[in-house]
Copies of this chain bind each other. A is one copy, B any other.
């Protein structure tokens, strides 16, 4: 009955090595321990280590070479945006302010431009979906508000007609839990400001890119201000 809470062994190995690398334990340029050594050290089979290393490789954290040692790469150079969700962030402990600001700035940058592009093209189905989402958000109880707000942005991203924006948006959201306390603190203001959301939708429906961009910027910039002044009365 209970949905399997069991995480695969290779996943925990991946997480362990990843955290070490992100923490600089095997520094960039150094060599990762051999698969056999890691397997023995962790008391598991080599295949589990291999699967984990394959994921590390894909994430751009290490470079493997047949016959030679697998070297640790500088993740700031070779890592992709998907690493954002991997960076120490989820645990309530110590959300790095610089990292948080980085994420929020990118969200602002991409979100505002997505709103602009969405207003430029403004496909009718998306406009309809936005209006519907807006109506449901206004009528919704506060508990579901974040979810509906997220769905609204989903439509904006789709309306931009840009697959790269969509994927970047996915990467940004991958590390965020909507029900997280931090998320509520950061995005609560924009979730509740229905009038600002209404202005965004209206701008997109009107096909006014500049207005849509401004509206989106106004909405998305709040989290950055919240970040600067976390608990101002």
> Which residues of chain A have a CB within 8 Å of any CB of chain B?
4, 6, 8, 10, 47, 50-51, 54-55, 58-60, 65-66, 76-85, 87, 98-99, 101-103, 105-106, 109-110, 113, 117, 161-168, 170-172, 174
Q: How many copies does the complex hold?
A: 2
User: Contacts of A106 on B, CB cut-off 8 Å?
Assistant: 110, 162, 164-165, 168
Verify A163–B76 contact, CB threshold 8 A: yes
From the candidates B51, B76, B82, B162, name the one contacting A82 in the complex (CB within 8 A).
B82
Q: In chain B, what residue has the closest Cβ to A66? A: B4
CB < 8 Å: which of B58, B79, B113, B162 contacts A167? B79
Q: How far is the CA of A98 from the CA of B82 in the complex (A)?
A: 22
Which residues on the B side are within 8 Å of A85 (C-beta)?
80
A104 to B101, CA, bound (A): 25
- Contact (Cβ within 8 A) A80 B4: no
Min CB distance A61 to B, Å, is 12
A105 touching B65 by the CB < 8 A rule? no
Query: What B residues does A164 contact at CB under 8 A?
Result: 81, 84, 99, 102-103, 105-106, 172
A166 partner residues in chain B, CB cutoff 8 A: 76
